Amino acid sequence: MNPMIAAFLVLAGLTCASALAMAWTKNLLHAALAMFLCMLGLAGLYVMAYADVMAVAHLLIYVGGVLILILFGIMLTQNSRADQYETHNDLWTKQSGRFWALSISLSVFLGILFILNRSMSSFGMVSNEIQRSTKLTHVGLALLTEYSFAFELAGVFLLIALVGATYIAKHHE
Amino acid sequence: MNDIPLSYFLIVSALLFSIGLSIMLLKRNMIFVLMGIELMLNAANLNLIAFSRQDDQIQGLVFSVFVLVIGVCEMSVALAIILQIYRHFKNIDLGAEKSRF
């Protein structure tokens, strides 16, 4: 077997298995850990798609930022129990009915597969030569020249969102 | 050196999207629902990156940077709102008696 394909299959298996574990478990902290593994596998998949810039950015933002934010959210919204000093990390969550959720998502998955199968022949028309080099220079140049307005707008948007989040999370009297 | 076919990425992305959808529909905890939404956003991002592999102008890559930024903004604002909901209702379950969502 081709080593590229083998590495891809390992990474895809890690990503999909940890996503399934997220859906399976009822424990919120186990789900956060599974999300960590899922983000690691996704970053590996980005590397396999020759997008190393996005892989590094994804690792920095999701593993370093968003997951910590989620863990803080879990910590701050925990229901206080009678035994506060229990050291177990079992945060059980409730579930809705399984039937509708699983059937709807399974039918969405099969529908997407059907569409992909139908349009598989047209992928060959758009495919140019695959660029196997790193795209860091191209991404930097494109962000600061062609997409500079959108880039600045994204920065302003991020600032507004963070200021708004801190204002919302403030303890209003 | 042969590359990975495009359809493999698309199948993984479809699987991730449907798992995120099932988490969103299955769980009652708001933070869990938010994690499902993140998973769906990342599935869309994987699609963009896989298609931009064959693009001379890297539009898909640049667009996925903006998707990342929007995802982080959504996450921070939603967690702040969840914190306020917890302070008000002492409960963050969707469809619970106390919170009435």
What is the interface pTM, i.e. ipTM, of the complex?
0.89
Q: How confident is the model at residue A85, as a pLDDT?
A: 54
Residues 2-21 of A with CB under 8 A from B: 2, 4-5, 8, 12, 15-16, 19-20
Q: Would the CA dihedral through A133, A37, A63, B47 be positive or negative?
A: positive
> Tokens at residue B14, please?
């479809």
Which residue do the tokens 């059937």 mark?
A103
Tell whether the model's pLDDT for residue A54 goes beyond 70: yes
List of chain A residues whose C-beta atoms are within 8 Å of the C-beta of residue B80:
164-166, 168-169
How far is A134 from A52, CA to CA, in rounded Å? Answer: 7
Q: At what angle do helices A67-76 and B59-89 cross, to 10 degrees?
A: 10
Number of alpha helices (DSSP H) and beta strands (DSSP E) in chain A:
8, 0
CATH topology assigned to domain B6-89 = Helix Hairpins (1.10.287)
Give me the residue spans of the domains in chain B: 6-89
Cβ–Cβ below 8 Å for B61 and A158:
no
Please list the residues that pair with B52 across neighbouring strands.
none
* Nearest-neighbour CA in chain B from A138: distance (Å): 8
| A31 interfacial to chain B (CB closer than 8 Å) | yes
Whether residue B38 contacts residue B18, with contact meaning beta carbons closer than 8 Å, is answered with no
**Apex CA B7: angle with CA B5 and CA B8, to 5°?**
75
Binary contact (B19, A76; C-beta < 8 A): no
pLDDT of residue B13: 95
Contact A49 B17 (CB under 8 A): no
Report whether A54 contacts B64 (CB < 8 A): yes
A19-23, A75-79, A117-121, B1-5: range with highest mean pLDDT: A19-23
Task: Indicate yes or no: CB of B32 within 8 angstroms of CB of A93.
Answer: yes
pLDDT at A86 over 70: no
CA proximity to A123, closest of B7, B3, B45: B7
Which pairs count as long-range contacts for A11-17, CB under 8 Å and 24+ apart, including other chains?
A11/A41, A11/A44, A11/A45, A11/A48, A12/A41, A12/A45, A12/B8, A12/B12, A14/A38, A14/A40, A14/A41, A14/A44, A15/A41, A15/A42, A15/A44, A15/A45, A15/B12, A15/B16, A16/B12, A16/B15, A16/B16, A16/B19
Q: Class of A1-77 per CATH? A: mainly alpha
pLDDT value at position B3?
Answer: 78
For residue A127, what pLDDT is reported? 61
Q: What is the DSSP letter of A23?
A: H
Give the tens place of pLDDT for each residue, A13-40.
999 999 999 999 888 888 999 999 999 9
Mean of the pLDDT values across residues A103-108? 92
How many Å apart are CA B12 and CA A167, to the nearest integer? Answer: 38
Mean pLDDT of chain A: 85
- Taking only the tens place, the pLDDT of each residue in A134-166 is 888 888 898 999 999 999 999 999 999 999 999
Pair of tokens at residue A124: 């060959």
Which residues lie below 8 Å from residue A113, measured CB to CB, with a gap of 6+? B11, B14
Average pLDDT over residues B87-99: 73
Return the pLDDT at A113.
92
Which residue in chain A has the smallest CA separation from B73?
A161
pLDDT band at A124 (very low <50, low <70, confident <90, very high): low
Q: Where in chain A is the domain with CATH 1.20.120.1200?
A: 1-77
A interface test, pick of B1, B3, B59 with most A CB neighbours within 10 Å? B3
* Structure confidence by residue, pLDDT tens digits, B21-73: 999 988 888 899 999 999 999 999 999 998 888 877 788 899 999 999 999 99
* Residues in chain B closer than 8 A to A104 (CB atoms): 21-22, 25
Q: Testing the interface with A: which of B28, B75, B92 to mutate, by most A Cβ within 10 A? A: B75
Cβ count within 10 A of residue A32: 20
Q: Residue B9 in contact with residue B47, Cβ under 8 Å?
A: yes
**Residue A113 token pair:** 């597969």
